[in-house]
Amino acid sequence: MRIKTVSNRITARLFITIVLLLFSTSLLFAQKDKIQKANFELANKFTTKKIEKMLYDTSVRPKWLENSEMFWYRFKNSSGTHYYLVDPLEKTKKPIFDNDQLAAALSKELKKPFDPNHITIDSLKFVKEMEAVEIIVDSLRYEYNLLTSTLTFIDSVKKKPKKEEWVNFSPDSATIVFAKNHNLYIMATDDPDSVEHQLTTDGERYYSYAADDGDTTKDKRVRARAQWSKDSKKFHLMRWDKRKVGDLWVIDVLNNPRPKLETYKYAMPGEEYVPQYELFVFDREKKGNVKVKADMWKDQGLFVVRWGETSETLYFVRRDRTMHKVDVCTADAETGDIGVLLEERMDTYIEGGPIYLINDDSEIIHWSERDGWGHYYLYDGKGNLKNQITTGNFVCSRRGITKIDTSKRVLYFSASGREKDVDPYYSHYYRVGFDGEGLKLITPENADHSISMSKSNKYFIDNFSRIDQVSKAVLRDYIGNKIMDLETIDISRLEEAGWKMPETFKVKAADGITDLYGVMWKPSDFDPEKKYPIIAHVYPGPQQESVPKGFSPTNRNIGLAQIGFVVIAVGNRGGSPQRSKWYHNYGYGNLRDYGLADKKYAIEQLSDRYSFIDIDRVGIYGHSGGGFMSTAAMLVYPDFFNVAVSSSGNHDNNIYNQGWSEKHHGVKEVKVKKKKDKEESTAEKDTSEVEYETKFEIKVPTNIELAKNLKGHLLLVHGDIDNNVHPGNTIRLVDALIKENKRFDFMIMAGQKHGFGKYNRYFVRALWNYFAEHLLGDYRTNVDMFEDEK
């Protein structure tokens, strides 16, 4: 019995050992299956720098001839550099000259070889009734006869002296206005003695008439912010009072021989002291000035200042600090008295637009989102609405007016979202009458368009492309009829290298209703049977989304995808002004979290749609606002996002730019009891009425508040002299993460501002490595960051 019991125990132990061994082996194989080698070799093949070497010209840039409908352009492709002359009337396109003959003539004249396929002409001008061209090659000017193919030397081209930055000429070139020691001066251009006439004496640092209000020089002439009237009689100047605005600092530790402190004025959200705007008009002859009586709201801003047809009237936009109130105003240039032409009022921020004055200021074209979409409106010169020019569920670009034909009363402009079954971010161009009649699409292709119109408004060049379609250029007439094809860009070398087009997709936002549009990059050696981690490149907006629309072969995400990832960029509600006002304002009052649910839901939908996406391995990265968003995603959805690289993030928008944070999150105007000074508070009896003053309050949710939620891998990167998004944004987050005992990675880019400049290549490789390590399990031990490129 004892022997049998011992034997059973041995058998049981052996069985358990075998089971554990098999289990361990299966785990090992499962873990090994999760580890994928990062394909840095393929990624190195498609860096931005290397792709640029395989690209040629990507658009046609016309040079319209004076007093003619003709134009010429230069275009480079795999066969060389070509120069063409196009005549829209004759519908012809022909080489300006024979490259072989010109190369031979240049070689003979300059005593050095020129290749016909590599002729670089610095300047070209038609002369002698189009029978010859003046060209500049190697700083030498020649006349080349197009009939006889003869080259005649004219002269050497002297290098133009560097334009004095302080010089601001009047339109008649008779007077120069400038600043010195923060005050304003004028000087006659033809005065041999350069006598300076001082116009002001109250200028000082941060309350200056100079363009650089932080200038510390005393006797140096610097540029003033002056803008002359067309008749040269007056100029206007905007002056900001920043004396009470708080200082901010960064330290350039790389400065030699000692680290250098940079001090600058920087207003933050909700602060009491923000820049105060003043607008002045100066009279050249009287050498006097008048202050425009623009005061209306506490801490208001003044923008879009421009002269009318004469120097009698100035036009400008006035906006309150909450940005809920906007007035378009006129100012009498002699008295400073103002009049309000039109008002805009909303319960959210109002986007200001340019003021288009037409027909000797008798009419005004104004852009507004008052009906929930960006549209143009026509007013008379006194501010009375004549009619809405455009209408419908689409967005006219705020600064999208290309041409205004006052004789035919036709407007040419860009807009997005009007065409059915077309990505609403694609820019199309239209023409419409001032009365709103005759709206016509003049760039019909399903693509993103950019145009250049002739001076007569009769013809235009249309360059168009998509992220998944190469750029093309065509010539059209003013109503959109195609006259001829000009160019299709050459990507033959890219295709030979194995480069692949990205793909577009459409998903729903987290509300299940709103359409979101995105782009997907895959590795060039993509295998649909494999599983790939997915990485989202993000930027939350609200001024734009990080989703390219036109052909972008050098996009950074191409190289990242080659490592072994599916990389996407997709929009989010609140991200872009190219959609409705509702879409654009979705994040108002929720500046941290508004776009995160859409990003998460988009990835989930793509995972359901494509079996090659591994939903258990999700990365996210972005810069600036994208740095903020990528970290927020890790902290709001810590069980979904696994890895993030966040660079230059504004993780605490309460210490970011006052204007941006207050605009996009919203600032509350409140009335509070005015504090009494010490003498008043100690008085025996106070019978005066209670006084109130205006204050502004704002509190933006931060990433710092969520530091305890971190579960995945987070790399934070920031330039130590970033004077846009202060390094304090990231350092505050670092502090919070340390206090929560979190493991994370932090990299300082020494001597770098908001962009990383010469360190950008290093940063990109660090980003590659971080995702390769934590999404693919590929941990490299090489110390040399670029060892695999050797």
Question: Residue range 48-71: average pLDDT?
Answer: 94
> What pLDDT, on a 0 to 100 scale, did the predictor assign at position 11?
56
Long-range contacts of 755-762 (CB under 8 A, 24+ apart): 755/648, 755/719, 756/647, 756/717, 756/719
Sign of CA dihedral 29, 32, 34, 36: negative
CB neighbour class for 614 (10 Å; exposed up to 12, middle 13-18, buried from 19): middle
Structure tokens belonging to residue 635: 């902290």
Please say if the pLDDT value at position 412 is more than 80.
yes
3-state SS string for 572-596: CCCCCCCCCHHHHCCCCCCCCCCCH
Rounded to whole angstroms, the Cα distance separating 532 from 775 reads: 9
Please say if the pLDDT value at position 789 is more than 80.
no
Segments in 59-207 forming alpha helices (H)? 99-110
Q: Say if pTM beats, i.e. exceeds, 0.85.
A: yes
pLDDT per position as a tens digit, 562-574: 999 999 999 999 9
CB neighbour class for 245 (10 Å; exposed up to 12, middle 13-18, buried from 19): buried
Residues 6+ apart with CB under 8 A from 160: none
Select from 411, 409, 412 the least CA-distant residue to 427: 412
Rounded to whole angstroms, the Cα distance separating 177 from 209 reads: 11
Select from 492, 744, 719, 527 the least CA-distant residue to 631: 744
Please say if the pLDDT value at position 180 is more than 80.
yes
What band does 28 get if pLDDT is binned at 50, 70 and 90?
Answer: very low
Question: Residue range 99-114: average pLDDT?
Answer: 96
What band does 8 get if pLDDT is binned at 50, 70 and 90?
Answer: low
Select from 495, 419, 497 the least CA-distant residue to 464: 419
Q: Element (H or E) spanning 265, and its range? A: strand 260-265
**Amino acid making up residue 429:** Y
Please say if the pLDDT value at position 608 is more than 60.
yes
Q: What is the dihedral of CA 161, 164, 168, 173, to 10 degrees?
A: -30
Q: Could you give the angle at the alpha carbon of 721 between the alpha carbons of 716 and 723, nearest 5°? A: 100
Select from 575, 541, 543, 539 the least CA-distant residue to 557: 539
Bridge partners for 24 per DSSP: none
pLDDT per position as a tens digit, 495-530: 999 999 999 999 999 999 999 999 999 999 999 999
Structure tokens belonging to residue 196: 């300076």
Please say if the pLDDT value at position 628 is more than 50.
yes
Please say if the pLDDT value at position 556 is more than 70.
yes
**Amino acid making up residue 247:** D
Structure tokens belonging to residue 687: 């019978």
**Amino acid making up residue 533:** P
Bridge partners for 95 per DSSP: 84
> What pLDDT, on a 0 to 100 scale, did the predictor assign at position 25?
46
> What pLDDT, on a 0 to 100 scale, did the predictor assign at position 674?
84
> What pLDDT, on a 0 to 100 scale, did the predictor assign at position 160?
79
> What pLDDT, on a 0 to 100 scale, did the predictor assign at position 687?
55
CA distances 223 to 164, 185, 203, 568, Å, are 9, 10, 14, 45
> What pLDDT, on a 0 to 100 scale, did the predictor assign at position 112?
94
CB burial of 618-654 (b: ≥16 within 10 Å; e: otherwise) equals bbbbbbbbbbbbbbbbbbbbeebbbbbbbbbbbbbbb
Structure tokens belonging to residue 566: 């599916």
**Amino acid making up residue 759:** Y
Contact yes or no for 56/473 (Cβ under 8 A): no
pLDDT per position as a tens digit, 110-136: 999 999 999 999 999 999 999 999 999
Q: Could you give the angle at the alpha carbon of 512 between the alpha carbons of 510 and 517, nearest 5°? A: 75
DSSP string, 312-324: TEEEEEEE-TTS-
> What pLDDT, on a 0 to 100 scale, did the predictor assign at position 6?
43
Q: Could you give the angle at the alpha carbon of 136 between the alpha carbons of 133 and 141, nearest 5°? A: 85
Structure tokens belonging to residue 103: 């190369």
Question: Residue range 360-366: average pLDDT?
Answer: 97
> What pLDDT, on a 0 to 100 scale, did the predictor assign at position 685?
54
Share of the chain above pLDDT 90, in %: 89
**Amino acid making up residue 627:** G
CB burial of 313-324 (b: ≥16 within 10 Å; e: otherwise) equals bbbbbbbbbbbb
pLDDT per position as a tens digit, 649-695: 999 999 999 999 999 999 999 999 887 766 555 555 555 678 889 99
> What pLDDT, on a 0 to 100 scale, did the predictor assign at position 683?
52
Rounded to whole angstroms, the Cα distance separating 145 from 128 reads: 9
Arithmetic mean of pLDDT over the chain:
93
Please say if the pLDDT value at position 59 is more than 80.
yes
Please say if the pLDDT value at position 458 is more than 80.
yes
3-state SS string for 657-720: CHHHHHHHHCCEEEEEECCCCHHHHCCCCCCCCCCEEEEEECCCCCCHHHHHHCCCEEEEEEEC
